[in-house]
Amino acid sequence: MFYEIRRYQARPGRREEWVRYMEDVVIPFQAAGGMDITASFIDEESPDGYLWIRRFEDEAQREELYAAVYESDRWRNEIRPAVMELLIPEATVVTRVVPTPVSALR
């Protein structure tokens, strides 16, 4: 099991709009496709920063879920264009982490 911590930078002044879009569209869409969305955060120290965490059982599951979500017509034609409008894509940082034995996320 591992987690993805995804850090995004919203376009200046658009974080609130981004959070609404994530909570109303992206998270429900991905969860319906089988993604385990563990958490969603705004960055207190960055006015445009946003983080979220997804959980995967293994690499095979991650690949399967990525294909189901990111290769879908809805993602390609509707959601991705909106995401690109709200975020600075080149500022995205994705970190894969494995919880330690005493972690509450184990």
pLDDT tens digits for range 66-94: 999 999 999 999 999 999 999 999 999 99
Q: Which residues contact 35 (CB under 8 A, 6 or more apart)?
A: 54, 65, 69
- CB burial of 4-13 (b: ≥16 within 10 Å; e: otherwise) equals bbebbbbeee
pLDDT band at 106 (very low <50, low <70, confident <90, very high): confident
**In 3-state terms, what secondary structure has residue 41?**
strand
CA of 51: how far to CAs of 39, 73, 93, in Å?
A: 8, 25, 9
What is the rounded CA–CA span in Å between residue 29 and residue 76?
A: 13
- pLDDT tier at 12, thresholds 50, 70, 90: very high
Name the pTM for this structure: 0.93
